[in-house]
A = this chain, B = another copy of it.
Amino acid sequence: MKAGSSASGFPVPDHDHASCLTEVIVRAAVAFERQGLRLTDLRRNVLEEVAASHKAVGAYEVLERLASKGGKRLAPISIYRALDTLVAAGVVHRLESRNAFFACHVVHGGNRRQIVLACEQCGAVAEVSRPNVFDDIQTAAGAVGFRMSQVLVEVSGTCAACSRSERPDK
């Protein structure tokens, strides 16, 4: 297993985020290329801010961080446009339950079928795969004649790391 990866989807304690970030950018470059999109400076900057942590960040938070770095302050719409493109390219996802965005660290095929776990304590977000769940949802929808175009499975709770630090015993 490479440094920075984790079977749980959450970063491991010693996790090498620099290489992790690099991987995200590379995957983005590939995805943009394949879809005939341009990975511009703005888009890369936004992606870097989103991927700076494994947490979900709001659009305005990205805005603030870029402003405090780049000096010039962008308009919200610029951030949203960049985010839209990143989401369309599949390298960033939106955490609907929090109106926030997080970088994708897994490779999915055409349609995304991942359970999203979001820690209420530390804000970390991870995606885990569980095809059955999506098959069952598909079946349940189909049973009432509903044609599914997009599914959202978001779980709020406490990640393993936060559970441990809450209760340092054991």
**Residues of chain A at the chain B interface (Cβ within 8 Å):** 7-10, 96-97, 99, 115, 117, 119-120, 126, 128, 130, 132-133, 136-137, 140-141, 143-160, 163
Contact status of A155 and B160, CB under 8 A, knowing A136-B136, A137-B115: no
Which of chain B's residues have a CB closer than 8 A to the CB of A117? 141, 144, 146
Overall SS of chain A's interface? mixed
Which of chain B's residues have a CB closer than 8 A to the CB of A144? 7-10, 117, 126, 128, 160
Q: Are B140 and A148 in contact (CB under 8 A)?
A: no
4 nearest A-B pairs in the assembled complex, by CB-CB distance: A145-B160, A8-B144, A148-B157, A130-B140
Report the copy number of this chain in the oligomer.
Answer: 2
When chains A and B are docked, how far (Å) is the Cα of A135 from the Cα of B138?
16
Indicate which residue in B8, B96, B140, B154 contacts A145 across the interface (CB closer than 8 Å).
Answer: B8
When chains A and B are docked, how far (Å) is the Cα of A122 from the Cα of B156?
29
Q: Are A151 and B150 in contact (CB under 8 A)?
A: no
Indicate which residue in B8, B133, B143, B145 contacts A163 across the interface (CB closer than 8 Å).
Answer: B145
Q: Are B155 and A148 in contact (CB under 8 A)?
A: yes
Q: Which residue of B lies closest to A95 (CB)?
A: B96
Which of chain B's residues have a CB closer than 8 A to the CB of A97? 96, 152
Which of chain B's residues have a CB closer than 8 A to the CB of A156? 148-152
Which of chain B's residues have a CB closer than 8 A to the CB of A158? 146-147, 149
Q: Are B155 and A141 in contact (CB under 8 A)?
A: yes
Q: Which residue of B lies closest to A134 (CB)?
A: B133
Contact status of A159 and B132, CB under 8 A, knowing A115-B140, A153-B153: no
